[in-house]
Structure 1
Amino acid sequence: MKQAKLLTDAERKRVDAIIGAHRYSARNRAIFAISFFAGLRACEIAALKVQDVFDENGAVRDTIYLAAAQTKGDEANTVLVSNRLAKALAAYAAKYPTHTSKPKSPLFFSAKRGGFSAQTIVNLFARFYSLAGIKGASSHSGRRQFLTELADKGVNVRVIQALARHKDISTTQRYIDYNESKLRNAIELF
């Protein structure tokens, strides 16, 4: 199975520019942020409710609790919210306060004001990557990028496994990208 493409800095900037020109830029930035900064899958993004992410006062929660029905593996789990992700989610709430004040509503609304299905989230990622001229990227690119960047920063693979919510460490290891440059840098540590 072919891995989802990791984006270069230039590609991420192109995608961000395309998102910024879109009618629902705050929503789309938050969707991309939850993928790139928390590693959520398309099905998990689609399953989120406002109350999962925002507390009763409208503040971004520091931990998202996923019910078993919201996850790929049918097991309840937690997602830690970084400062970067919290900022994107707060910007989304500020842009759409009426929507984000309805606790039981889907977190992300579609153009028709309903929620997204997992497939429409996949399609949204594909559309923006296509508009940015990026081939090989998918809704899983953010998740893979999240895990690879953690590894690049020296985070222990067991910690990455926990953040990825994988049962088996070998699954986590398949997500982490390496190349000759990274291998050369590693041998120079001694």
Structure 2
Amino acid sequence: MAQAKSLTEIEIEQVLKYVSKTRYYKRNRALVLTSFLSGMRVGEIAALKIKDVRNDDGSIKSEIRLTSHQTKGHFGRTVFVNEKLRSELSNFLGDRKTTDSERPLFYTEKSKGFSANTLTQWFFWLYRKAGVSGASSHSGRRTFITNLANKGIGVRVLAKLAGHRSIAVTQVYIDVNSDMMRKAVELV
């Protein structure tokens, strides 16, 4: 089975431009950017509850603590949330009137939480409709890891951020591209 496509900045902007015209714009934008800016698996995103990302005062947490029930390998981990994603999540949650922090963070049109499978399908159709071929629900995660590797972040740090127990698994995620090779030869 082929690996998920790692998206370029232009393709990410293409997806966000398409999302801006959708009915649930804020939710869809927050979903896409959560994938690209956190590196979480689609099942982890689907498992998020409001309490996982929002503090009692309404601010967005800088660290999301995933429990063993929310992760693929059943090992809890911490996801670090950068300022850009905190801003997007704050914008998205600003419209939510619920005080029930146990509700799913992301929900379907029927106000039910996404399952990992329905969110996988959602991403598949989103990329297809946005005109980005070869992308899947894993593309955000792979792009996250590749972009950080491209900026010189070491594989051990990448493995921790991805929740991998082996750096060999993380290395498979890194998409070597022309920009990376160009930068490498300039170091000689």
TM over 0.5: yes
Instruction: Give the alignment partner of residue 108 of structure 1, picking from 101, 106, 109.
Output: 106
Cα distance in 2 for partners of 1:132, 1:83 equals: 26
* Structure 2 residue aligned with 1:17: 17
User: Aligned to 2:72, what secondary structure does the other structure show?
Assistant: coil
Q: C-alpha displacement at 1:9, in angstroms?
A: 2.3
Partner AA of 2:140 in structure 1: G
Looking at structure 1, the residues matched to 88 and 119 of structure 2 have their Cα atoms a distance apart, in angstroms, of 17
Corresponding residue of 2:90: 90
Q: How does 1:44-55 map to 2 (within 5 A)?
A: 44-55=44-55
Distance in 1 between residues matched to 2:49 and 2:178, nearest whole Å = 42
Q: Normalised by the size of structure 1, how large is the TM-score?
A: 0.95
The secondary structure found in structure 2 opposite 1:27 is helix
Q: CA deviation at 1:6?
A: 1.4
Secondary structure of the residue that 1:68 maps to in structure 2?
coil
Q: How does 1:163-174 map to 2 (within 5 A)?
A: 163-174=161-172
The percent of aligned pairs where both chains have the same amino acid is: 44
Q: C-alpha displacement at 1:109, in angstroms?
A: 1.5
Which residue number in structure 2 is paired with residue 148 of structure 1? 146
The code of the aligned residue for 1:72 comes to K
Equivalence for 2:62: 62
Runs of 5+ consecutive residues of structure 1 not aligned to the other structure? none
Distance in 1 separating the partners of 2:15 and 2:177: 24
Deviation at 1:57, TM superposition (A): 1.5
Shift of 1:188: 1.9
- Structure-2 separation of matches of 1:182 and 1:71: 30
Amino acid aligned to 2:96 = P
What secondary structure is seen at the aligned counterpart in 2 of 1:98? Answer: coil
Match in the other structure for 1:136: 134
C-alpha distance in 1 between matches for 2:79 and 2:183: 31
User: What is the identity, as a one-letter code, of the residue corresponding to 2:40?
Assistant: L
CA distance in 1, matches of 2:100, 2:118: 21
Q: What is the CA–CA distance in structure 2 between the aligned matches of 1:37 and 1:27, rounded to whole Å? A: 15
RMSD, aligned CA:
1.2
Residue by residue over 1:115-149, the C-alpha shift from the partner in whole angstroms, topping out at 9 and shown as x without a partner, is 10001111111111011111110010000000000
Task: Give 1:62 shift.
Answer: 0.8
Q: Secondary structure at the match of 1:104?
A: coil
* Cα displacement (A) at 1:156: 1.2
Instruction: In structure 2, give the amino acid aligned to 1:84.
Output: K
Q: In structure 1, what is the Cα distance between the partners aligned to 2:140 and 2:130? A: 15
Q: Any gaps of 5 or more consecutive residues in structure 2?
A: none
Per the TM alignment, residue 181 of structure 1 is displaced from its structure 2 partner at its CA by 4.5
Distance 2:87 2:182 in 1: 35
- Matched residues in 2 for 1:168 and 1:8: separation? 26
Measured in 2, the distance between the counterparts of 1:114 and 1:180 equals 42
The residue that corresponds to 1:122 in the other structure is: 120
Paired residue total: 188
Distance 1:180 1:154 in 2: 15
